[in-house]
Amino acid sequence: MHFLDQAKIFIRSGAGGPGAVSFRREKYIEFGGPDGGDGGKGGDIVFEAVEGLNTLIDFRYTQHFRAPRGKGGSGQNRTGAGGNDLVIKIPVGTQILSDDKEHVLADFTKVGQRIVLLRGGDGGRGNASYKSSTNRAPRQHGTGWPGEEMWVWLRLKLLADAGLVGLPNAGKSTFINQVTNTKAKVGAYPFTTLHPQLGVVSHRGREFVMADIPGLIEGAAEGAGIGDRFLGHIERCRVLLHLVDANVENVAEAYRTVRGELDAYGAGLADKPEVVALNKADTLDEELVEALSAELEAECGKRPLPLSGATGAGSEAVLDAILAHLDAEAEPEQAEGGDWSPL
């Protein structure tokens, strides 16, 4: 399945049905009168967040959504049938933005969440509703209110507990393949990962979701490379796992570059709890790993965890650190009466 995290679609709610112009004509009733019923209401445009979807690829092929209009009224004061609501199913984590992308119209963060974005038009009045003491045989009727229409953007922000960040070739895909059931592409060249990957980590009887995004380079927040487009997918992560390649020329500079892009992007990314790991430590001797760890600690202010995504060495300690942050994040919610459980 192809990954698509943005799509532009056109939506239109249904117009109301017209009211009827009708008069009673029955054999044994001397005086008839108007009996035209009202028109039915048009269908609403409803968005619903559902399980099992993690891409907006379906909206690449279907971009116009129109709810049916209401049926017209009829004689004997019969109201027309209302148009069925059009329910558009989207992945959890989807935001609906205005056409200019300046306003968030809706944000779906829970399975089953439903929002009526456009309401269908009301049905027109039948001529029976116009009857009065001075207008005994009205022939006017309402044509029904039009529906609403607009272009909107759908933007998917994946929901994950932990997010992987780092420079290209930091070993993020190798690591997520090691600790989850993900089959992310791995290659010895930059930008092997072209779209976010999600995987479920099972550790110490617990489960949590981890997201891997394409590598970040300097200037990513301003559009350099491809990572800037996907930074939104880690906005909702509880903790970040920052992988630093032990084989780069300057580990402190590598760390500083990624942190600078997170800060430039904003949205609270720079303030999230962070676990720092010195990846590919299996390619160096212990003395050099210790020296690089000290250099990285001086930059980030915390002791990095040695890790080998390829062999799995050090993975236990890294996952333990992530769980500790997730538990720390859950405690305030439980204190407020909320129940936390991994996604």
Q: What is the pLDDT of residue 9?
A: 96
Q: Is 172 marked as a binding-site residue?
A: yes
Exposure string over 145-175, b if 16+ CB within 10 A, otherwise e: bebbeeebbbbbbbbbbbbbbbbbbbbbbbb
pLDDT in tens, 29-54: 777 789 999 999 999 999 999 988 87
Q: Of 147-151, 167-171, 267-271, 274-278, where does the model show the most confidence?
A: 147-151
What is the spatial distance between Cα 65 and Cα 12, in angstroms, rounded to a whole number? 6
Q: Is 194 marked as a binding-site residue?
A: yes
Q: Is 212 marked as a binding-site residue?
A: yes
What does the DSSP 8-state code read for residue 201?
E
Q: What is the pLDDT of residue 233?
A: 75
C-alpha dihedral sign at 52, 109, 171, 284: negative
Q: Is 67 marked as a binding-site residue?
A: no
What does the DSSP 8-state code read for residue 278?
E
Contact 101, 152 (CB under 8 A): no
Q: Is 231 marked as a binding-site residue?
A: no
Residue 183 has pLDDT above 70, yes or no: no
Residue 196 has pLDDT above 50, yes or no: yes
If you search the block for the tokens 């999600």, which residue do you land on? Answer: 198
Q: What is the pLDDT of residue 194?
A: 52
Contact 275, 239 (CB under 8 A): yes
Give domain limits for the chain. Answer: 6-156, 162-335
Q: Is 161 marked as a binding-site residue?
A: no
Residue 226 has pLDDT above 70, yes or no: no
CATH architecture classification, 6-156: Distorted Sandwich (2.70)
* Residue 126 or residue 200, greater confidence: 126
Q: Is 173 marked as a binding-site residue?
A: yes
Residue 72 has pLDDT above 90, yes or no: yes
Q: What is the pLDDT of residue 207?
A: 86
Q: Is 193 marked as a binding-site residue?
A: yes
Mean predicted confidence (pLDDT) in 18-23: 94
pLDDT in tens, 88-107: 999 988 999 999 989 999 99
Q: Is 168 marked as a binding-site residue?
A: yes
Q: Which token pair is 322?
A: 């992530």
pTM above 0.95, yes or no: no
Q: Is 108 marked as a binding-site residue?
A: no
Q: Is 170 marked as a binding-site residue?
A: yes
- Write out 9-64 in H/E/C secondary structure: EEEECCCCCCCCCCEECCCCCCCCEECCCCCCCCCCEEEEEECCCCCCCHHHHCCE
What is the spatial distance between Cα 152 and Cα 10, in angstroms, rounded to a whole number? 6
What does the DSSP 8-state code read for residue 78?
B
What is the spatial distance between Cα 13 and Cα 99, in angstroms, rounded to a whole number? 17
Q: What is the pLDDT of residue 217?
A: 59
Q: Is 280 marked as a binding-site residue?
A: yes
Q: Is 282 marked as a binding-site residue?
A: yes
CATH architecture classification, 162-335: 3-Layer(aba) Sandwich (3.40)
Contact 215, 193 (CB under 8 A): yes
Taking alpha carbons only, the member of 140, 68, 58 closest to residue 94 is 58
Average pLDDT, the chain: 85
If you search the block for the tokens 């399945």, which residue do you land on? Answer: 1
Question: Number of C-alpha atoms within 13 angstroms, CB side, residue 322?
Answer: 32
What does the DSSP 8-state code read for residue 161?
S
